[in-house]
Structure 1
Amino acid sequence: MTDYMPDSPQPDEPPMDVRQLFAHPDALADVEREARARVRLTHAGHDDTTTGTVLLAHEVDDAGITELPAPRRTLPTALLDREVWRHRIDVVVHSAGFHLARTPRYAWRLGHLSVLGAWTELRTACGYLLATDYGDMIDEAKRHSYGNDHVAQLRAERRKEGKARRRENITILGLTGFTTYTTALIALATVWGTGVTAPFLIPAVGFLAACGVRELGRRAEPFEVFEQAAAAVDAPLSDVTLNQALRNPKVKVLAEDQVAELVGPIRSVAINACEATLKLPSGVTAPRVIAAHEALAEALNVEPGWLDIRQAGHPNRITVWIATSEPFADARVSPLVDSPERQDAYGKGVPIGFNRRGEVVYLKLKHVMALLGGMSRTGKGMLLRSLICGLGLDPRVNIRLAAGAKPGEHIGYAPVCATFFGRRPERLLALLKAFEREALRREAYLEDQGRSKMGEEDLADFPWEILIIDELKQYTGKGKPLAEEISQAIEDLAAFVAALNMSIVLSTQDPDKDTVPRGYKSNSGARMATRTGSPTQTNAILKEGATGNGMRAHELPSERKGLTILDIDGLLGALIRSFIIEDETHDGAAPIITAGRRLRESVHRAPGQYYDPIEAFLLEYTGLSSVGGGPGGRGKPERPTAAAATLHRSLLADLLDIFEARNNPDRLRTAEILAVLAEDDPATWSPAALGVRDDDEKGWASKGGTKLSEVIAQELNGTGRTLTSREWTKGGRGRGYYLADVRTAAGIAPE
C-alpha cells in the first residue's frame, strides 16, 4: 500500500512495485513457506491441503523460528516416577497392615454400632406401630386435669391410629421383607451351614451400623470406627502428618486454620527415607521452619539427625526429608576407591563423606583456610585421608604434608606429596618461610597484572599450594620448641595467602583454646569437628558459641566413627559421615595414590619431575630434601640425589657461584658459563644434551644461551625481575651476563 491517493500529486519517481521483489519462483516459494510456518505456530493457525512438507533444520532457521512448541506429556510425570510409586506402595502396605492389626477393634466397634442401631430402630418401630406419641398427650391431659372424657378420647384415637399404622403398606412390606430375609438366612444356615450365611449378614450389619452412627450423631457423641493410618507413629510421610507436626504447640509454626500444601507427590529417595515439597501459607517462611528443626523432629517422632529441612527456592517453599531409621548407621566406601580418576579439587572440591540424605559432600578449599579437629579414634584421620587422596588425583595441586606425630601412617601419601616430613619443628618453620616467600612472589605477579587474586587460569604457572599440618598440637602446644614462632608464621600466612591459590589445612587432636592460633581461626572458612571431649574443645575447633548454636560435637555418638560437624559456607552446622578408604586386610589408599602418581607423571607434575621453588628454598636453607618424603620416601629429609639437587638448585645461585669461583669478574661469556654448567650437569648442559656436535661451539653457545634464558625466565616468573644476556665489544666482542645484572635478578642489593 502507499500513502498517495489517486487524485493527489504524484512524486517525480514512480513508486516501486513490490511484486518485482518476488518475481523469481524461489523467492515466492520462500515467502510462502515462511508464512505457512509462522501461521502454524499461532494459536489460530491451521494446516491447509498443501502442508505436510518436511522442513529441514536450516530451512526452519531461515524461516526465523527460534523455538518449536514442546511436546505435551500424555501422562503426568508423577505416574511415571518410580520413587513416587515406591512411596505410594509404602503408604498402601502400611495402611493395610495398620488396619489389619486393628480388625478385632473395628469388629467390636461395628458390633457396638449394630446393636445400638438395632435397638434404636426397634424402639422407633415399636413407637410408630403402637402410636406411643399419644402417650405424651395423655400424660399432659392427666397433669392438667382435662377430664376423664378427654383422656378416654385420646386413648381411643391412639388405638385407632396404631391400628391404621399397622395396616399401612409400608408396614406390611417391611415385615414381609424382614421375615423373608430372616427365613432365607435360617434356611441357608440349616442347609449350608453358618459359614455360608455370614456374607449375607453384611448388608444387615451395615444397615444397623449406619443406624447406630446416625443415633450417635443425633446425640452429638464423638465416635470413630476406623482409625487414621496416616496419624500412626510409624506411618510414612504424608501431608497429614506434616501439618499435624507443624501445628504442634512446641513447634508453633502453623496456626490451627493454616495448611501447608504439598507441591507434587511425596517421593521415596532412599530405602529408609522420603522427601516432600511443601508450600507454606502466607506469613510462614522457610527460615522459621528450619529454626524449629529439633521441635519438629520431636513432633514427627524421629531423631533430629533423621530430619532435614531446606528452602526450595522461594522463601515460602521447603523440602522436608525424613528417614525412618538412622541414616548414618552404615559407613560408606569412598567413590575414589572404585574410580580413582582425575578430580577437579579446585572447582568441584574433594569428596570427603556423605550427608544424611546420602549425598556426596565435597570439601572446597579454594581461597579458604581449613581446620579439622577431634578426639583420637573418632574418624579424623579417615577424613584427612579422603582429603589427601582426592588432592592427589588433581595434578594441579602441590601437597605439602607436615606430620606432627606418627609420620609412619602418612608414608603411603609420599608419592604424590611435593613435600612430606615427620615431626621436625625447625623444618616446619623453614617451610612456612618458604611458603611466605612463594606468596610474595605470587603477590608481585598479581601486582604486575593489576589483579586482586588468582584463579583457575593461573594454575598452569602457579600450582595450587596446599599445606597440611597434622597433629598441630605437637608443634604449637605449650612447651613445644619454636611453638610461638610457628604459630605467628601460621597467623601471618593465613591473613593474605588465600587469594594467591595457597591454602593451609590444620588438623589437631584434643585442642584447647590456645592450640589453634587465634588469627588463623578467625581467617579459616572451613571448620570440621569430629567427636570432641568437651564443649570447650568443640568451640576451639568450630567457633565461639558453636555449642549454643546446636553444633555440639561432644555429643556425637562414639559408636559411629567419622561423624563430623561442618561449619562451612553453605553447610553451616551440617552433619556428615566421612568415607572410609581402607579395610582390615589392606591399605585402600594405595591404589588411589598409585593412580595419582601415574596421573601426575603423565603431565610431568609428579614430585621430583619439575622445579619446585619451595623445595629449592628448603634445600638451599637446610641442605636436605623432603620431595616425596625425602630420598627414602619415609618422611625423613636427607641429602638429595644428584638429579634432585640439580632440579631444585636455583640457576641464579649457580651463576653467582660461577662468578665467585672466578673472583667475581664484571661479566662472563655464555660459552664460559655453559662450560661450567656442563661439567656439573652434563645431562642437561653438555653439547650432546642440547643436540649439537662437540666441535660446534657456536651452535652450543646459541642453543645453550636460549635454554639459559628460558630457565632463568621461569625462575623469575612472578618476581617482577628479569635477566637477559647482553652483547659487548669492549675488550673483545662477546655475549653473556653481567655480574651486576645477575645480582639484581637474584634480589641482591647493588654494592
Structure 2
Amino acid sequence: MSHATVPPSAEPTTELPPGVADLTKRLRERGIEPAARTTVQATERGVADLSTGTVRQPVVEQMPSRSAALVGGAARTAATTWIGAASLVRKIWDYEQAGEFAAAIRQARDLERAGGDVAELEALVVQLRAERRQVQHARHREPATILGAATATGYAGALVGIASAWSLALVVPALLPLWLLMYVAGRRELADRERPVVIPGQVVEQATAVVEAGGEEHPFGYERITAALRDIKVISKDQTIRPIGLPMPDEHGNLWIEFELPAGVIAETLRSRAQMFAGALGLPMSRLDVMVGSAEGEVRLWIAMEVPFSGPAAVSMLVSAARWSVWDGVPFGVTRKRERKTLDLLWSSMLFGGAQGFGKTTAMRLAAASAVLDPYCRLLLADFKGGADWEELEQIAHTAIIGADPRSVDAFVRLVDELIDEMDRRFAKIRAMPKAKRPDMRLTPEMAREDEDMMPMLLLIDEIQEVFGALLPRPADKEFDIPSGKKQVELLVEKLARLIRRGRACGLIVIASGQRPDAESVPTAFRDVILTRYSVHTVDDTSSDMILGDGAAKRGVSAAKLGRIGIGALMEPTGGEIVQPDLITPQQFEEICNRGRRLREEAETLTGHAAGWEPEGPEGVLGQLLDAFDAAGNPDRITTADLAPLLARIAPDVWQPQALGVRADDHEAAKKAVGELLAKRITEEVPEARRFKSKQWTKDGGGRGFFLADIQAAAGIAPE
C-alpha cells in the first residue's frame, strides 16, 4: 500500500488558563494521535481531512505472501515484546524513583510561571523534593524491592550458569518466562494506548479552580488563609503557614486544602475557632470543615464551592426499587459534602424528633420503606398520633395499634411483653445452634432465610410520648394491686430499653418518634439506649440535645434553628453531621406499601392484622376472665374479689375503679361494681345455652366467684 501525505497543518492554538496542562500533549505521547492518523489513512477513498492534515488516496490492496505474513507476525511479536520490556522498566523505575512527585513539581513550576507566589511555590517545590527523597529511600528498603532485586539477580545468574555449564542453546528455553512476561506487558501497554481518553469540560473547570485556589487573589488561596488565621489570633503577624501539596477538588466539586501551621501551633486550636475562621474567610460554617491531618500541626481544610443543600432533595432510590433487604441498610440521604449516607438500623434502632412540620415523618418514611420492600421483614405499627401518615402500613403490618386511647395503650404494653418473650425465644434458639452458625450470638441472613420465625421485625412507634402521657395520670390501687402511672411508665421504659439494647442482636428493630422528648415526656433511660438519632429543627441546643444526646451541640452537631424543611442533624455511634434526607412523597409511599403487600403475598409472608387473622382465643368478657385465670396460674376457682385486681391489670380502661365510676379508695364499692358489671356482660355476651353465673362454694358465703371449668365450657374450650 502507498499513501501520499502532506505535513499536518498548524495545530490550532487554544488559550488555556494559566497553569493548566495541555492534555493534547499527553495524547501525542501515548501515540493516540498517530494512531488516529493511521486509521484515517487506511480508508477506502481519499479526501482532504482538515483535522489531521492527511490526504487519503485510493487504497491498493495486495495479498501478502505466506512467508511475508510469518515475517510480519514475528516482527509484530518482537515489537510487542520490546514495548513490554520498555514499559516494565519505565514503571519499575518510576515507582522506585517516586515519579508521581515529578508531576506535582512540574505543576508547581507551571503555577509559578503563571504568576503565583514565587516564594510560596519555591518552598512547595523544596518540600516536594524532600518528600520525594524520603519516599525513594522507603521504597528502596521495601521487602518487595529487595525480593525483586534478589530474584532478578538470581535469574540472571542462573542464565549465566546454564550457558557456562551446557550451551547457549539451552538459554533460549530458560528465557521463555521472561519473554512471556514482556509480551503480556506489551499487549497491556498497547491496549492502554488504544483506549480512548475522555476530556470532559468539568475536568478543565476543576483544574481551573485548583489553579485559582493557589493564587493570591482567590478567596481561598494560601495568602487569604494566612490572613484569616492572623485575624483570629491563631498565628501571629510574623508567622505563616506551609502548604502541603496543592489544593485539589474532590469528585463532588468541593475543595481540599492541606497546610502545616507554624511550630508550636496545633490544629486543635484552629478547630476550636472554626466558627471564627469561617467568618474571617467570609463563609457560613456549613461550607467549611477543619480537620487534623497526619500530625498535630497539620490541617486538612474542606471548603464547599456551593452552598450545601441549596438544591431539592433527591428522590429516594426506594421509590423505584422492585424490592429491598433490611440487611442492606437504609439509603437515607446526603451530607453537606454530598456524600451518600446509608443507615444500618438492624444493629442500632433509631429515634426521630424535632418540631412539627419540618420533615420528621418524611425522613421516618425512609426507614419504614426499606422494611416495607423486604417481604422477609415483619412490621409492627404503633401509631399513637392516629392520623393519616401511616394508614398505608396497615395493609402490611402484622400488628396495628392506632390512637392513644386506654385500650390502645394497654395493647402496646402487652405487645412489648410479647416482644420480650420473642427476644428470649430467639436467643434460646441461637444458643442451641452450633457455634459455627452463630457468630457473636447475632442473627445472620442465613438464619433468617432458613427459619421464617427468625425473620427481622421492625416496630414503628409514632409519637411515643403519647404512651407515657396516657400512663402517667393513672392512680395506684393497693387493694387491686395496681401500681401508679409513674411506676407503670418506669416498668414500660425498662422493658423497652431491654428490648432495644438486646433485641437488635436478634433482629428486633425499633424506630420511634417524638415531638420534644424531654426527661418527662420521653424518659432518658429510653433515649440513651437508641444509638442512631435524627432531629429536624429545634428552638435551641437544649432541645436538640434531648434528641441527639447530651453534649451533641458542644461536639458541633445541633438541630437548633436549622429553620429549613427537609434538613436535619443525624447522630450515629461514630459521630454526627447535618444531612438532607431523600424524598418519598405520601403518594410514593402508598405505592411502595402496595408493592410491599404484593411481595408478601408472593412470598406467603403476609400475616397478622394485614392478613385478617383473628386474635387467638375468645374475645370480650370470656377472654378477659380466661386471661385473669392464666395470670393467677389457672386455679380451679377464683373469688370475685380476687378477680377484680387481675381484670384491672388486663383491661384497666374497663375494670379499674375510675372506669367503673367509683372512688379508688372505696374498695367495697369497687368490688361490688366489678361483680355487677361481670353479671351484666356475661348476660349480654354469653349465649343462653351456655350462660353461667358466679357460684358460692361455702355455706357461710365467704367464697363466691367463678370456676375455670365453667368459663372454658362457655368458651367452647375443652378442660386441660
Alignment CA distance shift 1:229-1:492 (3 Å): closer
The counterpart of 2:276, out of the listed 292, 295, 311, is: 295
The counterpart of 1:31, out of the listed 162, 174, 197, is: 174
The counterpart of 1:519, out of the listed 521, 525, 540, is: 525
User: What secondary structure sits across from 1:555 in the alignment?
Assistant: coil
The answer to whether the Cα contact below 8 Å between 1:379 and 1:578 also exists between their aligned partners in 2 is no
Do residues 589 (structure 1) and 577 (structure 2) align?
no
The counterpart of 1:367, out of the listed 341, 347, 370, is: 347
Do residues 538 (structure 1) and 544 (structure 2) align?
yes
Alignment CA distance shift 1:551-1:400 (3 Å): same
Do residues 259 (structure 1) and 248 (structure 2) align?
no
How far is the alpha carbon of 1:556 from its aligned partner?
1.7
State the partner residue of 1:504: 510
The counterpart of 1:434, out of the listed 395, 418, 436, is: 418
Do residues 639 (structure 1) and 642 (structure 2) align?
no
State the partner residue of 1:422: 402
The answer to whether the Cα contact below 8 Å between 2:268 and 2:292 also exists between their aligned partners in 1 is yes
Q: TM-score, normalised by structure 2?
A: 0.52
Do residues 453 (structure 1) and 444 (structure 2) align?
no
What is the distance in 1 between the residues matched to 2:313 and 2:327? Answer: 24
Do residues 577 (structure 1) and 577 (structure 2) align?
no
The count of corresponding residues between Structure 1 and Structure 2 is: 430
Alignment CA distance shift 1:342-1:287 (3 Å): farther
How far is the alpha carbon of 1:388 from its aligned partner?
0.8
Alignment CA distance shift 1:510-1:517 (3 Å): closer
How far is the alpha carbon of 1:439 from its aligned partner?
0.6
User: What secondary structure sits across from 1:366 in the alignment?
Assistant: helix
How far is the alpha carbon of 1:377 from its aligned partner?
0.8
User: What secondary structure sits across from 1:575 in the alignment?
Assistant: strand
The counterpart of 1:378, out of the listed 358, 383, 388, is: 358
Structural mapping, 1:6-85, within 5 Å: 30-37=173-180, 83-85=202-204
What is the distance in 2 between the residues matched to 1:344 and 1:293? Answer: 40
How far is the alpha carbon of 1:352 from its aligned partner?
2.2
What is the distance in 2 between the residues matched to 1:438 and 1:26? Answer: 78
User: What secondary structure sits across from 1:574 in the alignment?
Assistant: strand
How far is the alpha carbon of 1:425 from its aligned partner?
0.9
What is the distance in 2 between the residues matched to 1:296 and 1:375? Answer: 31
**1:110-167 CA deviation, whole Å, 9 max, x = no partner?**
xxxxxxxxxxxxxxxxxxxxxxxxxxxxxxxxxxxxxxxxxxxxxxxxxxxxxxxxxx
User: What secondary structure sits across from 2:446 in the alignment?
Assistant: helix
Do residues 389 (structure 1) and 369 (structure 2) align?
yes
State the partner residue of 1:565: 569
State the partner residue of 2:255: 275
Do residues 87 (structure 1) and 206 (structure 2) align?
yes
The answer to whether the Cα contact below 8 Å between 1:262 and 1:278 also exists between their aligned partners in 2 is yes
The answer to whether the Cα contact below 8 Å between 1:400 and 1:465 also exists between their aligned partners in 2 is yes
The answer to whether the Cα contact below 8 Å between 1:495 and 1:520 also exists between their aligned partners in 2 is no
How far is the alpha carbon of 1:73 from its aligned partner?
9.6
The counterpart of 2:221, out of the listed 238, 246, 260, is: 238
What is the distance in 2 between the residues matched to 1:398 and 1:314? Answer: 49
Structural mapping, 1:539-688, within 5 Å: 539-557=545-563, 560-570=564-574, 572-582=575-585, 587-605=587-605, 607-608=606-607, 625=608, 627-628=609-610, 631=612, 639=614
What is the distance in 1 between the residues matched to 2:398 and 2:294? Answer: 43
The answer to whether the Cα contact below 8 Å between 2:248 and 2:257 also exists between their aligned partners in 1 is yes
User: What secondary structure sits across from 2:560 in the alignment?
Assistant: helix
How far is the alpha carbon of 1:302 from its aligned partner?
0.9
What is the distance in 2 between the residues matched to 1:564 and 1:422? Answer: 27
What is the distance in 2 between the residues matched to 1:254 and 1:520? Answer: 49
Structural mapping, 1:317-328, within 5 Å: 319-323=300-304, 325-328=306-309
User: What secondary structure sits across from 2:277 in the alignment?
Assistant: helix
The residue identity in structure 2 corresponding to 1:86 is: E
The answer to whether the Cα contact below 8 Å between 1:327 and 1:357 also exists between their aligned partners in 2 is yes
The answer to whether the Cα contact below 8 Å between 1:379 and 1:561 also exists between their aligned partners in 2 is yes
Gaps of 5+ in 1: 1-17, 41-51, 58-67, 96-227, 609-624, 632-637, 646-750
The answer to whether the Cα contact below 8 Å between 1:377 and 1:561 also exists between their aligned partners in 2 is yes
The answer to whether the Cα contact below 8 Å between 1:372 and 1:528 also exists between their aligned partners in 2 is yes
The counterpart of 1:333, out of the listed 288, 296, 314, is: 314
What is the distance in 2 between the residues matched to 1:403 and 1:314? Answer: 51
Do residues 351 (structure 1) and 331 (structure 2) align?
yes
**1:333-353 CA deviation, whole Å, 9 max, x = no partner?**
333265324334324x21222
User: What secondary structure sits across from 2:531 in the alignment?
Assistant: strand
User: What secondary structure sits across from 1:587 in the alignment?
Assistant: helix
Identity %: 21
Alignment CA distance shift 1:262-1:362 (3 Å): same
The counterpart of 2:466, out of the listed 474, 485, 508, is: 474
Structural mapping, 1:716-727, within 5 Å: none
The answer to whether the Cα contact below 8 Å between 2:352 and 2:533 also exists between their aligned partners in 1 is yes
Alignment CA distance shift 1:343-1:278 (3 Å): farther
User: What secondary structure sits across from 2:513 in the alignment?
Assistant: strand
How far is the alpha carbon of 1:252 from its aligned partner?
1.6
The answer to whether the Cα contact below 8 Å between 1:239 and 1:262 also exists between their aligned partners in 2 is no
What is the distance in 2 between the residues matched to 1:563 and 1:441? Answer: 40
The residue identity in structure 2 corresponding to 1:593 is: C
What is the distance in 2 between the residues matched to 1:396 and 1:495? Answer: 22
Alignment CA distance shift 1:338-1:472 (3 Å): closer
How far is the alpha carbon of 1:457 from its aligned partner?
3.4
User: What secondary structure sits across from 2:570 in the alignment?
Assistant: strand
The answer to whether the Cα contact below 8 Å between 1:382 and 1:580 also exists between their aligned partners in 2 is yes
Alignment CA distance shift 1:265-1:540 (3 Å): closer
Q: Which structure has the bigger radius of gyration?
A: 1
How far is the alpha carbon of 1:469 from its aligned partner?
1.1
State the partner residue of 2:501: 495
How far is the alpha carbon of 1:362 from its aligned partner?
1.6
How far is the alpha carbon of 1:293 from its aligned partner?
2.6
How far is the alpha carbon of 1:508 from its aligned partner?
0.5
The residue identity in structure 2 corresponding to 1:561 is: I
What is the distance in 2 between the residues matched to 1:542 and 1:431? Answer: 27
What is the distance in 2 between the residues matched to 1:565 and 1:382? Answer: 14
User: What secondary structure sits across from 2:550 in the alignment?
Assistant: coil
What is the distance in 1 between the residues matched to 2:330 and 2:274? Answer: 29
The answer to whether the Cα contact below 8 Å between 2:500 and 2:508 also exists between their aligned partners in 1 is no
What is the distance in 1 between the residues matched to 2:418 and 2:358? Answer: 33
Alignment CA distance shift 1:277-1:27 (3 Å): farther
User: What secondary structure sits across from 2:565 in the alignment?
Assistant: coil
The answer to whether the Cα contact below 8 Å between 2:255 and 2:305 also exists between their aligned partners in 1 is no
How far is the alpha carbon of 1:486 from its aligned partner?
2.7
**1:68-102 CA deviation, whole Å, 9 max, x = no partner?**
99999999x9x95754521344589x99xxxxxxx
The residue identity in structure 2 corresponding to 1:503 is: I
The answer to whether the Cα contact below 8 Å between 1:253 and 1:288 also exists between their aligned partners in 2 is no
- Coordinate RMSD, CA, aligned: 4.3
How far is the alpha carbon of 1:405 from its aligned partner?
0.8
State the partner residue of 1:250: 232
How far is the alpha carbon of 1:265 from its aligned partner?
4.6
User: What secondary structure sits across from 2:569 in the alignment?
Assistant: strand
The answer to whether the Cα contact below 8 Å between 1:407 and 1:421 also exists between their aligned partners in 2 is no
What is the distance in 2 between the residues matched to 1:483 and 1:55? Answer: 72
The answer to whether the Cα contact below 8 Å between 1:334 and 1:352 also exists between their aligned partners in 2 is no
What is the distance in 2 between the residues matched to 1:545 and 1:445? Answer: 39
User: What secondary structure sits across from 1:496 in the alignment?
Assistant: helix
The residue identity in structure 2 corresponding to 1:529 is: S
The residue identity in structure 1 corresponding to 2:591 is: P
